[in-house]
Structure formats: structure tokens, C-alpha cells
Chain A
Amino acid sequence: MDERGGIAMEIFENGVLGKPTPIMDAKLKVTGQLKYVADMKMSGMLYGKMLFSPYPHAEILSIDTAEAEKLDGVYGIVCYKDSPQVKYNGNGEDIDILPSEYVFDKVVRYVGDKVAAVAAETPAIAEIAVKLIKVEYRQLPYYLDPEDAAKADAYPIHETGNLLIDVDKSSGDIEKGFKEADVIFENHYTVPAIYHAMMEPHVSIADCDADGKITVYTPTQDVFGQRKNLSRIFKLPQSRVRVVSPAIGGAFGGKIDLITEPVAVLLSMKTGHPVKMLYNRTEDIQSTTTRHAEKIFIKTGVKKDGTITAVDYTVYLSAGAQSGGTMSVAWAAGGKFFKFLKTPNLHYHAIPVYTNRTNAGAMRGFGSPELFYALNSQMNSIANKLKMDLCEFELKNLHEPNTCDAHGEPLGNLQICECVKKGAELFNWNQALQEQNKSQAENGRFRIGVGMAASPHGSSMYGILPDTCGVMLKMNDDGSITMYTGVSEMGNGSNTLQKMLIAEVLGIPLDHIACVKSDSESTLYDVGSFASRGTYVGGNAAVKAAKMMRNAILLEGSELLNCTQNDLVLHNNCVSLKSDMAKYVGMDRIAEHAHEKERDIAVAAVYGSEAAPISGGAHFAKVQVDTANGEVQVIKYTAVHDVGKPLNPLGLECQVEGGIHMGLGYALSEGVILDKDGAVKGKRLRDCRLLHASQMPEIKLNFLDSYEETGPYGGKSVSECSVNPVAPAIINAINNALNSNFDHLPVSAKDIMDYVNNQERGDNR
């Protein structure tokens, strides 16, 4: 049977897929029973506490730990003198790219960098001990702006200099493209660093045993990347490093890189005790990763009819103090750049630069929120100048389904144009435009503006890295099964969907499937929970394993029912004759029969991606701007997504609503701001200005009923795509309301008041 044809024919036969399904561990979460790493305790466990750098760039001249060591209850202190002399890149995906970091270094590179750490009997003792450590520093020149750090005569933050690796990608003939243009637009955009603000702060427990084996419990999105890194840093075979991600209280890309883990391991090695390293919120804000702060320059050539003839895009990425995931973000955004417009003449140039701030890295969208904010913002200003409808302008230039980008990379069944059309219809775009025009004519206190934006996103790492996921299944004596998956579950429902897919293939009830997950020792390799690959790659792996198990079940079934395997169907926890469903055997009998025949029903499948189909989304926003106080109220919001076949409608809705929340914060309020000495200005969670329940608009969602041939039952990605179009849709609406040209994020009430007051002064002149 043809693999894909087979899937298409039997779609949703067992009625599991397509049904709104809550996340699998919801019951444990609503009762408070789910054990997150911070909830775990081990006998003899000590508490770690980090001493952080007060300077943005300095050399450590001396560290005196004598006082701290004398304190009762202190078991061990580590600093650069104890650190393995192995440089690493804490991002698993980029492990071999520009390793720049030590567990502890003699040079500190940002306010909040690791200086030393204490392990003590109680958190309170550890906290006192850290304050007793005396450090002498020699301050060095520092840079908070990537353009400054990129200058040839800038003091090097690393011995290799301040530039990471330039990314320069082009297609077509950019000069020719600009010559063909009737008008050329040049714009400049700036975006701030963004803190992930997952509700669970970073934490890990490291336990080194007498065999020299280290076990690390950490809410990571990437157990295998962390294992590889820890095995290299501590020079241990991977068989003696176990990384387990038992539960994740939100991640959004912020729990890929090593943060607390190597320090917890070092302390555990030194003390011989398990050590828990838990960041408080202030530490988490200043000393974990962020989305990149960027400066973006775009030059775009357009014909009078709205055809874009060339786009030249240059971006400075503020990488922060270490290499981390910056190069992958620069490359990934460079890939996505070509997945948006069908214009053949494109140039992408990314200049990633070390700066003296906390590491930038992956955050939901992986470079795309910045990229598509800038591109969609410029498209809005171009459409306005050309007096073209923004939707029409986008539709004229966005990629068509089942085509290739300018590099020949296939896009899959990308329905981004359909998303724009459907969104315009659901949002009632034309009527909204009339409201905007009416509001402009009235020129009152409250101005109505409408905006939209579109974005593509990938579904796997295919084409960038080998992208595999392994799933093992074993059947228990009673016909229930256990799924072993390397996919880390972040609350986004990836493991839930894997279970749904298996239940769909095998006709086994969802609650007959147990899940062992993201444990580098007991589950098969998975690349990690990023790149929106959970549904596509994790899902395909689950389907592949389930189909292998189906074959094993059919063998038992055919012997028990005296027929060929083709005569059978798996349904309702039974194997039945297609021709006579009353003739069946239960799954318990199947398992029993296998044992009688000295067999066991257990399979292991590794799925290797063969494509990276592109998903798409288009968002529409209507805002009301109060010109008396600068407040922006989002009064209508519509989002349409192409996710292939919607497999778990509830999960999809939850993902997009959450993405919109994050995007609205990006547009209107969030951003990690540093003072002139490099210290984070807002050190509390309230300072991060996440939107609260009362600030969220009503959201209308729609998912196209599309189908991705290579996807599990036709599905593809959703998560990251949901955040990309939000900020540009909102900012376009604000700019259209005020005839303004805001070219930075976020646009605050103060920005709006400054603009309004300037306008009034201009009018009076």
C-alpha cells in the first residue's frame, strides 16, 4: 500500500484525530500533582546559588572564597579555577559553531554573567555565602549596541573578535531588480530583546554518583543536545550522562541552551551531593537568553502596479555575550526571508555581533518575528505610498502553493494567500477600511486603524540539519501500550498529538497509552523541541511507529481469526474482520497470543524528515488609538492559519491564542531595556509588561482545511507561525490610524503621545 495514499484513504477512521483533545497531563496540572523540577527533592540534596557579575565586561583578578567556605552549611564553592577548560556552545543545535563559553570564565561579559557558585544545605545559607565571596575585577570596554561592537577598532569581547559569522544569501539579480523598479523604498527598523517570561524559571538538579555518572533533571526542550554538550564539557561518554526533562513550565525557546545545568553538575561533582540550582525571577530575567535585539535596514524596489522587483535586507543581530543559538537564528531567518515573497531578486545579509548583554538565542519564531515585522511594516508603508490596498499588495507578491522559493527549495502546499483572502473576508477588511477612513475624516480623539500582516513558517529542520525523531512502542500484557518519545513536551501538546496519532492508527483508546518522554537514556534521539517540528517530525515518527506496531498486531490477529492480515481492521480496541465486524479479538488477547507464541509486540521507529513544508498565517487587527493618552485598544483581531489538516483543533486554537498574546506584547509593551552600564532596567516580572487577561482582545480564529501530503495525516506546524504576524498587524494598524511611521518595537503610549504632540506643534507652525 502506498504510504501516503494509505494515510489519505483511511483518514480519521478511528475518530481520534480532528477531535478537540486536552493536553494529556491536564489532570495532574489542575490538581498541582505534576512534579516540575523545582518541586523535586532528593535525599542529601544541596541548594546552589550563583554569584553574578556586576559589570558588563571585566577580567576577574582574584576571587577569595575563604569567608564563604567557613560558613556552617556550605559544602562547596566553584569558580573559574574549578571550571573544565572546555569551550562550548550551550545551544545543542549549534554545538560545533563558535564555541565561546566556559562553565566559569576569567572574563565576565555582561551584568549577570556567572562568576562563582555555592552549594549549601539551605537556600538561605547559600544566599549568605554568595555575599561573602570577594572578587576583584578589572573593568573592560563594553558595547551594548551591535553596530558599535561591530566597528573594526572595538575592544574584542572574545579573542576571535566581535563578529560571529556573516550570513549573506542572495537570489536573482538584485541590481537588475532595482533597475526594473519604478519606486525604491528604504526603511530602518529596530526591535528590542525580549524575555521569554515562561512562568517556570530556569532550574536544574544535577546528581553525580560514585560511578562518575551524572544525571541532570532539567525542564529542557533539548535533552539530547544538553547531554552531548555536558558529555563534552565534563569529558564523559554519553553513557554516563543522563538528561531528563520531566515537565516543562513553559519554554518558548528559552530552555534549549545550557543555563544552570553545567554549574549544577560542577557543584555536584565537587560536593558529592545532588545540587538544585534554581534561578529566582530577577536572575532569570538578567541571566538567561532573550530574543535578539536587532537593527534592520530594508531597501525594496516596486513597480507602480505593486510588483516587488527586489528586496535588499540587512540586519545587525545583538548576539549578547556568547555564541549560543545566534548563528542558527541568523541562518533560519535567512531561509524564511526567501519563503515569503515570490520576487526572484532577493538579498539577505545578517551581521551577528557579540555585545555585552545576556545571550540572545531561540525565542518562538527564531528570527521570524523580527524579520516579518520589518517586512510587513515596510509593505504597509509602500502600499500607502502607492495608494494600493495592503491585502492586494501582499497577495500580488506572496508565494503560491506548491511552488519553490528563489533557491529552488519546495514550499509544500503553502496556502498563505488563501489565509490572506479568508482573513480579509472574516475580518470584513473593506468595511474596516471604511471605518478607518471615516475616523480620519472626523479627526477626533479616538482614531480607528486597521492593519494586517502575513508570515510563513517551517515545519522541520530538513535542509538545514538532519532532522530525525525516534518513537518506541511496547504493548503490555493487557493490550495497553507505552510510548517512549524523545520529544520534549512544553505544554504545547506535542506528546498529546503523538498519542492521538498512535490511537488513530491502532484503534486503541487514548487513555490506554502511557508516555515516557524526553529522557536521554530511555527514549530514542530527537533533535529537540524547536523549529515548530513537534507535529510534523514528532507526529510522523509516532505514525511510523504505530504502523510498525499495527503490522505486529495484524500478525497475531490473522492467526487468531484465521484470515489474512488484509482482511483485518483495528478499531475500538479490537482487531476485527472487515467483512464481519462482529468477529473480533480484543487487544488483550492479541498481547496474550504474542506471548504464547514467544513473541512480544514492541517496535522502534526512526523518522527522518524528507521535506520542510511551509505553514502560513495572516492576521488582521483593528485598533482604536486614544490621542489624549496614547492608549491603544485592540478592538478586533482575526487570525487565519494554514496548518495542513487540523489534527487537534483545541491544541491549535490554544497555540495561536498564546502566540497572539506574545505578539501583542512584542508590539505594544515588552522589551528588555538596559541602562547605560548594561544592567537590566526592569528586574521584576511586572517590569516585563506581559499583557494581562483584561488587556487581551477577543480573537477570531480560523484554520484552513488544507492538507500537507508529507505530514502526519496531512498536518504541519503551527506554533511559531502564530506569533510572527502579530506585531506588524498591530503596528500597521496604529500607523494607518495616525498616518504615522513608527519603525520600532514596542510602540508605547508615550511614543504615541510624542508623535501626536509633534504633529500638533507642526500644525500650529
Chain B
Amino acid sequence: MQLVKLSINRRMYELMIEKNWTLLYLLRDVMDMTGTKCGCGTNDCGACKVLVDGEAKNSCCILARNMEGHEIITIEGIANGNELHPIQKAFIDTGAVQCGFCTPGMIISTKALLDKNPNPTEREVRLALDSNLCRCTGYARIVEAVLLAAKWMRGEE
């Protein structure tokens, strides 16, 4: 066990962790933050994505102990209290959510994309989501949701 100081969803935590714990294990099994999902554990599906300093990363393949000094945002940190983020609203309105298991990871990837590129083309959206798998939607509505969220975030109706 070792002591680490982690910033998760803008809050500082001091935690005793094992050196082989992944960030995903820490979030889900130790901190009970289960919004981040485990779809594979092998870097293949993106269900466990979190933002690390603004970049969407698979938390199943990151060691928690290496996260000191980094800013981690999980799906629980996307909404502003009870007010949904425009990305979350867009996912709902467009029908981008079916079983919902890939959704947190998709939203994290979307946030990372739109924070960098507020006006992406459809192709750019698809490429940004390429490491997130979904088995329900065929991605059509998810892509639509990202484009709609981008529009809203740019202040367009």
C-alpha cells in the first residue's frame, strides 16, 4: 500500500492504494464511483474512459498510483450538480442512449473532443469515437448527439 493524493472531479483525495491497482479498480471497487464502466479491461472498448488532464483515457489501463498531479474527471463530474451538461442532454434527445453501458465512455470522449475542437466535422467525430465500442446504436445517433452538443456549446440553437 502507498499513499497517493488524487484530484478526482475537482476534489482532492488522500488514498492508500496497492501499486497494481488500476484507476478503474480504484474508482469502481474502492471509491464506489461506478459510473465508469468496465467493458473489457484490455483497452479495447472505451467504456471506462475518464478525462486525464482533458484527454480521454481508458482507466482500465492506467495505474492509479501514476495519477498524482493529474486532473481526473469521471462521468460523475460532467454534470453541473443536477444540471446536465449539453453533451448529456444531446445524448438523451437524439436517442444516442440505448442500454447505456457505453454511454459514460462515449460522453467522456465527446467532452475531450469538443473542448479541443468546438466545431468538428462528422468524420472528425467518428474518428474521435473510434476507440469507443457500442453494440446497440450503430453509432448513428451518437454521432448526431456529438454534433448537436457541439452546436449547443457554440451557443447556436
Which A residues are closer than 8 A to B by beta carbons?
20, 22-23, 25-36, 38-39, 41, 123, 196-201, 247-252, 280-282, 490-493, 650-651, 653-654, 657-662, 684-686, 690, 692-694, 696, 699
Closest to A490 in B: B99
**Can you identify 15 A-B contacts, CB atoms within 8 angstroms?**
A30-B107, A32-B35, A32-B74, A39-B28, A199-B101, A247-B100, A250-B98, A491-B100, A654-B98, A654-B141, A658-B98, A658-B135, A692-B131, A693-B132, A696-B140
Residues of A close to B137: CB separation below 8 A: 654, 657-658, 661
Determine the residue in chain A with the shortest Cβ distance to B100.
A29
Across the interface, do B141 and A281 meet the contact criterion of CB distance under 8 Å?
no
Is B84 within 8 A of A31, CB to CB? yes
Residues of A within 8 A of B72 (CB): none
**How far does the alpha carbon of A690 sit from the alpha carbon of B97 in the complex, in Å?**
18
A248 to B71, CA, bound (A): 31
Q: Of A196, A280, A492, which contacts B98 at CB under 8 A?
A: A492
Known: A27-B88, A32-B75, A491-B99. 19 other contacts (CB 8 A): A23-B95, A23-B97, A27-B84, A30-B103, A36-B34, A36-B37, A199-B37, A250-B101, A252-B135, A281-B39, A282-B42, A653-B141, A654-B95, A657-B137, A657-B140, A658-B136, A662-B135, A685-B44, A696-B138
Contact present for A685 and B99 (CB under 8 Å): no
Shortest Cβ distance from B107 into chain A, in angstroms?
A: 6
Q: Give complex CA distance A398, B39 in Å.
A: 41
Q: Is the CB of A657 within 8 A of B138?
A: yes
Q: What residues of chain B lie closer than 8 Å to A247, measured between beta carbons?
A: 100
Q: Give the residues in chain A near B97, CB-CB below 8 Å.
A: 22-23, 26, 29-30, 491
Which residue among B91, B97, B107 has the maximum number of chain A CB atoms within 10 Å of its CB?
Answer: B97
Task: Kindly state the separation between the CA atoms of A491 and B103 in the bound complex, as whole angstroms.
Answer: 12
- Residues on B with C-beta less than 8 A from A280 are 41
In this assembly, does B156 line the interface, its C-beta being within 8 Å of a C-beta of chain A?
no
B140 touches A199 (CB 8 A): no
Q: How many residues of B contact A (CB 8 A)?
A: 54
Asked whether B17 is an interface residue with its Cβ less than 8 Å from the other chain, the reply is no
Query: Which B residues lie within 8 Å of A251 (CB)?
Result: 99
Q: Are A684 and B44 in contact (CB under 8 A)?
A: yes
A20 touches B74 (CB 8 A): no
Cα of A659 to Cα of B137 in the assembled complex, Å: 8
Q: How far is the CA of A200 from the CA of B74 in the complex (A)?
A: 19
Once the chains are docked, how many angstroms separate the CA of A28 from the CA of B99?
Answer: 11
Q: Using CB atoms, name the residue of chain B closest to A696.
A: B139
- Dominant SS at the B interface? loop
Contact (Cβ within 8 A) B37 A35 = no
Residues of B within 8 A of A491 (CB): 97-101, 136
Interface digits, B109-146 against A, CB 8 Å rule (1 contact, 0 not)? 00000000000000101110111111111111111000
Min CB–CB distance A65 → chain B (angstroms):
26
Centre residue among B40, B98, B127 by max chain A CB count within 10 A? B98
Q: How near does chain B come to A286, taking the closest CB pair, in angstroms? A: 14
Quick check: B138 and A660 within 8 Å, CB to CB?
yes
Complex partner residue of A199 from B34, B41, B91, B99, CB under 8 angstroms:
B99
Q: How many A-B residue pairs have CB under 8 A?
A: 175
- On whether the beta carbons of A684 and B40 are closer than 8 Å, the reply is yes
A692 to B123, CA, bound (A): 12
* Cβ–Cβ contact A661 & B34, under 8 A: no
The chain B residue sitting closest to A282, CB to CB, is B42
> B130 to nearest A CB, angstroms?
5
Is there an interface contact between A199 and B135, defined as CB atoms closer than 8 Å? yes
Closest beta carbon of chain B to A632's beta carbon, Å: 17
Q: Are A690 and B95 in contact (CB under 8 A)?
A: no
Q: Specify which chain B residues have a CB less than 8 angstroms from the CB of A250 in the assembled complex.
A: 98-99, 101, 135-136
Closest to B107 in A: A30
B51 CB within 8 Å of chain A: no
A282 to B39, alpha carbons, bound, how many Å? 11
Q: Which residues of B contact A281 (CB under 8 A)?
A: 39-42, 44
Q: How far is the CA of A282 from the CA of B41 in the complex (A)?
A: 10
Please determine whether A31 and B76 come into contact, CB atoms closer than 8 angstroms: yes
Q: How far is the CB of A489 from chain B (nearest CB, A)?
A: 9
C-alpha gap A650/B96 in the complex (Å): 10
B44 adjacent to A686 (CB under 8 Å): yes
Residues of A within 8 A of B3 (CB): none
Q: Give the docked Cα–Cα distance between A251 and B99 (Å).
A: 9
Bound-state CA distance A26–B36 (Å) is: 16
For residue B98, which residue of chain A has the nearest CB? A491
Q: Contact mask B70-87 → A, CB, 8 Å, 1/0?
A: 000011101100001000
Please state if B40 and A685 are interface contacts (CB–CB under 8 Å): yes
A398 to chain B, nearest CB (A): 26
Least Cβ distance of A275 to chain B in Å?
A: 16
CA gap between A23 and B93 in the complex, in Å: 9
Cα–Cα distance between A156 and B44 once the two chains are bound (Å): 38
**B102 at the binding interface (Cβ < 8 Å):** yes
Residue of A nearest to B101 (CB): A249
Q: How far is A650 from B44 in the complex, measured between Cα atoms in Å?
A: 29
Question: Could you tell me if B98 and A31 are in contact, using CB atoms closer than 8 angstroms?
Answer: no
B47 within 8 A of A: yes
Q: Indicate if the CB atoms of B34 and A39 lie closer than 8 Å.
A: yes
In the bound complex, CA of A658 to CA of B102 (Å): 14
Q: Which of A33, A34, A252, A650 contacts B95 (CB 8 A)?
A: A650
Give the contacting residue for B133; candidates A248, A490, A692; CB below 8 A. Answer: A692
Determine how close the nearest CB of chain A comes to the CB of B17; give it in whole angstroms: 13
Task: Tell which of A30, A491, A661 has the most Cβ of chain B within 10 Å.
Answer: A30
**Minimum C-beta distance from A720 to chain B (A):** 14
